[in-house]
Amino acid sequence: MDPSALAKMYVDAVKNNTISASILTKLPELLTCDWTKVELVGTVYYISERTKITYDGVLVRYLGGLYFVKRKVFEVLQKHDRRFRTRLPIVQVV
């Protein structure tokens, strides 16, 4: 499935600062884009029990879809753009 179609399918997955673990693991990763059009949703930290993959980063909305941005990418963005320095809510994984 196309990553942007998958991101649009889960755009409303974050409700009351919570997201399902099964949805989080399916979100596409956002690496490059027009960062001025990104809407920050919240930070997330989750270790998958089955695969032991660590999801440490930020959830963002971009062009009508929900994406995952790794912490390292987000830290680089914080150095270059003030919008990424704001304190974000923590999104709980259920």
DSSP alpha helices (H): ranges in the chain?
A: 3-9, 21-24, 71-80
CB 4 within 8 A of CB 65: yes
The Cα 4–Cα 49 span in angstroms is 26
What does pTM read for this prediction? 0.93
> Going residue by residue through the chain (94 aa), what tens digit of pLDDT does each one get?
678 888 999 999 999 999 999 999 999 999 999 999 999 999 999 999 989 999 999 999 999 999 999 999 999 999 999 989 999 999 999 9
Q: How many helices (H) and strands (E) does the chain have?
A: 3, 5
What is the CB neighbour count within 10 angstroms for residue 47? 12
Chain-centre distance of CA 66, in angstroms? 7
